[in-house]
A and B are shown apart, each in its own frame.
Chain A
Amino acid sequence: NAGVTQTPKFQVLKTGQSMTLQCAQDMNHEYMSWYRQDPGMGLRLIHYSVGAGITDQGEVPNGYNVSRSTTEDFPLRLLSAAPSQTSVYFCASSYDPREGQETQYFGPGTRLLVL
Chain B
Amino acid sequence: EDQVTQSPEALRLQEGESSSLNCSYTVSGLRGLFWYRQDPGKGPEFLFTLYSAGEEKEKERLKATLTKKESFLHITAPKPEDSATYLCAVQAGYGGSQGNLIFGKGTKLSVKP
Contact = CB atoms under 8 A, between A and B. Distances in A.
A50 B31 CA distance: 17
Interface stretch (A14-22, A62-70, A72-80, A103-111): A103-111
Interface string B74-111: 00000000000001010100000011110111100000
B90 to A, nearest CB: 11
Interface centre among B41, B43, B49, B101 (most CB of A within 10 A): B43
B100 A45 contact: yes
Contacts of A96: 99
B103 A42 contact: yes
A33 interface: yes
Contact of A101 (B32, B44, B103): B32
A38 B44 CA distance: 14
Interface in B47-96: 49, 51, 87, 89, 91
B42 A108 contact: yes
Given A97-B100, A106-B44, 11 more contacts: A33-B100, A43-B44, A43-B101, A45-B100, A58-B100, A96-B99, A101-B31, A101-B51, A101-B91, A103-B34, A108-B42
Interface of B: 31-32, 34, 36, 41-46, 49, 51, 87, 89, 91, 98-101, 103-106
Interface of A: 4, 31, 33, 35, 40-45, 48, 50, 58, 90, 96-98, 100-101, 103-109
